[in-house]
Structure formats: structure tokens, C-alpha cells
Chain A
Amino acid sequence: MSQNMVSLKRTLKYFAVILLSVAPFLSKAEQAHDASAAAPTESEKISAHIDHHLQDDYYFTFFADEEADVKYGFSLPVILIDNGLKVFMASEFDYGKKTVEKDGQFYALSHGKIYKTDAAGTLSYDDHHHITNAKPLDFSITKNVVGLLLTAVILFVLFIGLAKTYKKGANNLPKGAGRALEPLVLFVRDEMAIPNIGLSKYKQFMPYLLSIFFLILVLNLIGLTPLGFNVTGNISVTLCLALFTFFIIQFKANKDYWKHIFWMPGVPVPMKIVLAPIEVLGMFTKPFSLMLRLFANITAGHSVVMGLIAIVYLFKTDLTVGGSVGVSMILTLFIMFIELLVAFLQAFIFTMMSSLFIGMAVQDHHDEDHH
């Protein structure tokens, strides 16, 4: 066990070193590709760029030459459902400069969203400068979907490989990456599932808990790579994860759970009536907190890392190029380590909380006095 932990630590160290050694360069490249408004200041450009990074995208951009306005990367397929299925490559938008016409319907790309428009590409705005044009149903393979698919592939490769090692018998110990993965699986089981759900019922929830733990973990980690994914920092993804937990709780909950919500035992009747709406609200706040916590932590991490990388641009006159790169590297290095911790921590917390909530819903309450 301790040997496994050591090898896990070593693996992570190597991973972190590789990650950190290339991260500032590549993220720097990514940063340079939002040249929208006319002559914005450097810090405005940076903040727009960070915003842009945090958003989903129809392009996969690795490098950009801002002055020549050339971007190196590839566009991703757009899939719209709007009077039939419409599939085309996002490159047809030319980064929002062109409208795309499909079967007599025009589409425009603005700030990472596709809107229905007319032949001239007019977009109408409301008072808060929001686009009021209708949006088609958009099932595009965006950058985050690519990240999700990549993560799913990584998970399949890793864990089907790990499962194979046990085919020769349970005493066949895993080798290579499996040696790091097995302790993590045990960690999910022994630290989250069993203590929270209980020995008799934990097993049916293991596939879900292991799936979300490793999905979030790998998504968080590829979010730290210079590929520029920000999947778990997207509200759609965390909402989906939280809803999953929410529905599992509601469908698996036993009589005690509903009784505790609508008719709290052990308190006077007026209190029961007061408590019921609070408990009903609690049903929703639990997954809501899961959703927001993961989203906020990852978004904040990405913002801070990108902000620190931006030091290179903001202070290059004050600190010289070498100085600003040095300061940026040291601070980014520091934050990257923290982000690595956060990547694990958030995967842990999400899974932990999910198992805790599931445990609360499925556990048998033997004593009624503890309220």
C-alpha cells in the first residue's frame, strides 16, 4: 500500500514537472488570439482573453499570431438541430466574421455562441448589450466535448486495462499506471463509499462514484495541461454531474429519507410544518452546492493561472522581458502546484459529498432520538 502511494506520488511528480515546464509557453500562445475590439489596452485584452478561455469554443486553437491575425489549430464540427439536422465545420464562420447559410437559414457566431440571423448577419441587442436573436438547438462537438471524449477514452484505456490485470486472478497485482490507479479506487471505496453509505449498500453506487471521481479528476488534470480545456469549469458540465447525483438520491432514497423531509420525526408538529419546506429546499441546495463548488474552484484556478501568466505581458516594460517571464514562471509554478492539489481535492469533495448525500438518503435510521 505504502509502496503504491510512493509510486503514485512519483508519477504525479513527473506529471507535474512535465506539465509545468510546458504550461506557460503554450497557454501564452492561446492567450493571444482574441483580438476583437479596436485597440484595447493590454489588461483589457488579457481579461477578455481569460473570459474567452473560460468559455467553450468551436475551435481548437494551439497558437495564434495576433498581428498577422492567423490562428493555428483546427475547427470542430457544428451540429445544429433547427428544422432538421445541420452539420458543418466551424471554420465556415471564420471566427465569427462570416455568417453561414444552411438550407436558407443564416447563422452567426458571436462570443462563442451561435445565433440565428438574416443574410446580412444582423444581431439585435437589448439594453444590457445582450444578443436577443434566437439560438438554434446546438449539439456541436465543441472544445469541451472533445475534452470529455478524450477523458472518456483515457478512462476506458486506463480502467479496462486495470480490470484486465485481475482477470488472471485477484492476486495478480497491477503494473505500471494501474499501480497508481488501484490505490485511488481503494481510496474511493474505503474513504468515501463505505464510511458514508455503509458496508451493506455501498456496492451498487461504486460504478457511479468511481466514474464521477475519475471523470472529474482527469478533466481537472487535462484542464491543467496547455491544451486549454476548461471542462469542469463549465456550468453545464457541473450541472449535469450534480443532477446525476440529485436523481440518484431521489430514486434510491428510502422511506426514512422522505419522512425526514416532509414529516421530521422527534419534533413538535408546528416545527414539522416549518421544517418541511426547509428540508425540501435542502434537497436542491445539496446538489446545487456540488455544482457551484466544482465550477467556482476550477474557474478561479484557471483565471488565476492565466492572470499570472499575463504578468509576462503586463510587466515586460517594468521588469524587462526576462524579469517578467521569471516572476510569472515562479508564481505560475506555485499556483500550478496548488491547482494540482485542487484538481484532486475537488474530485474528492464532489465524490465525497455525493456519497455522503446518497448515504443520508439510503441509510437505515435505527435511532429516532438523535435529532
Chain B
Amino acid sequence: MEKLIEQFSYGLFFWQLIILLIVVVLLGKFAWKPIVNALEEREEGISSALAQAEKARLEMSRLVNENDQLLKDARAERDIILKEAKELKDKIVVEAKNQAQIEGAKLIELAKKEINDQKLKALAEVKGQVSTLSLEIARAVLTKEFENQGKQDELVADLLKDVKLN
């Protein structure tokens, strides 16, 4: 202990103090602070880069999921649209058929009516013609018959007979 105290020197203590102060202050300003800050900055950079990579990975998987979902949705929608189109087509076809049937029936009805009309018309004409013809024939016959007087009397007698019978 005595030796220790004897070894102690103010001069060396003083220089040590000065040099330590210089080292702490100057190195602190020009070396330690920049170094410590740079190390921290680098570590932050690394951890933020890692976090970003992780985020990107999550985003990627989310996008993939989303794509899958979109694809699935699109498929389902396509199916629905196809189904609807098919239904619509069937409906249109059925409707068209019905319409056609109704229209056809109507036409047939009209045609029938027309035919009937025409038939009646034709019949009436035929009747007219027949009656004209008959009259003419009758006149011709009568004209022929009544060329002699005897015959006329005979006929009148016949006719009168008939009238009596009626």
C-alpha cells in the first residue's frame, strides 16, 4: 500500500486526465457518435428491410389469394350467366312456339271463315245460276210445249188438277 502511494504521481495523473478528456470529447464527437449512430441506423435499416420483405411476402400471398378468389368468382359468374342465358333461350323458344301456335290457330280460323264465306257465296251463285238455268229451260220447254194449243190446254188441266190436289 505504501509502495502504491509512493508510486502515485500527480504529473501522470494530470496527463491521464487531460488525455482521457480529449479522447472522450474529441473521439466522442468525431468517432463514437457517428459510429454508434451508423451502427444503429444500419440495424434499423436491416430490421425495416426484413419487415418490409415480410410485408411484401404477406401482400404477395394476399394477392395470390385474391386472384384465386377472383378466378373462382369469375367462374361462378360465368356459370350463372350461362345458366341464365340458357333459361332465357328456352323461355324465348317456348314463347315463340306458343306465339306461333296462337298465330297459326288464328290464321286457320280466318282461313276457315274465308273458305266458308267463299263456299256460301259460291253456293249462292250456283243457286242463282241453277234457278236462272231452270227458268230458261222451263221457258224453253214451255215455249216448245205451247206451240200447239191442245197441249196448253192439257197442261192447264194438269196444273189445275194438281192445284185441286194441293
Chain A residues within 8 Å of B, Cβ to Cβ: 55-56, 79, 113, 130, 137-142, 144-145, 148-149, 151-152, 155-156, 159-160, 162-163, 166-167, 170-171, 182, 185-186, 189, 203, 206-208, 210-212, 215, 234-237, 239-241, 244, 295
| B:4-48 near A, CB below 8 Å | 4, 6-17, 19-20, 22-24, 26-28, 30-39, 41-42, 45
A159, B36: Cβ atoms under 8 Å? no
A163 / chain B contacts, CB cutoff of 8 Å: 30-31, 34-35, 38
B23, A211: Cβ atoms under 8 Å? yes
A244, B20: Cβ atoms under 8 Å? yes
Question: How many interface contacts (CB-CB < 8 Å) are there between A and B?
Answer: 125
B7 / chain A contacts, CB cutoff of 8 Å: 55-56, 234-236
Given A137-B10, A207-B24, A215-B20: A170 and B41 interface contact (C-beta under 8 Å) = yes
B8, A207: Cβ atoms under 8 Å? no
Tell me the bound Cα distance from A367 to B93 in angstroms.
87
Tell me the bound Cα distance from A155 to B15 in angstroms.
16
Tell me the bound Cα distance from A170 to B47 in angstroms.
13
Given A138-B9, A207-B33, A235-B7: A155 and B23 interface contact (C-beta under 8 Å) = yes
A171 / chain B contacts, CB cutoff of 8 Å: 42, 45
Given A162-B31, A170-B39: A237 and B23 interface contact (C-beta under 8 Å) = no
Return the CB mask of B104-144 against A: 1 if under 8 Å, else 0: 00000000000000000000000000000000000000000
A156 / chain B contacts, CB cutoff of 8 Å: 23, 26-27, 31
Looking across the interface, which residue of chain A has its beta carbon closest to that of B14?
Answer: A139
Looking across the interface, which residue of chain B has its beta carbon closest to that of A172?
Answer: B38
**Which has the most chain A C-beta neighbours within 10 Å: B37, B38, B39?**
B38
Given A166-B34, A170-B42, A185-B36: A211 and B27 interface contact (C-beta under 8 Å) = yes
B12, A236: Cβ atoms under 8 Å? yes
Report B82 CB to chain A, min CB distance, Å.
57
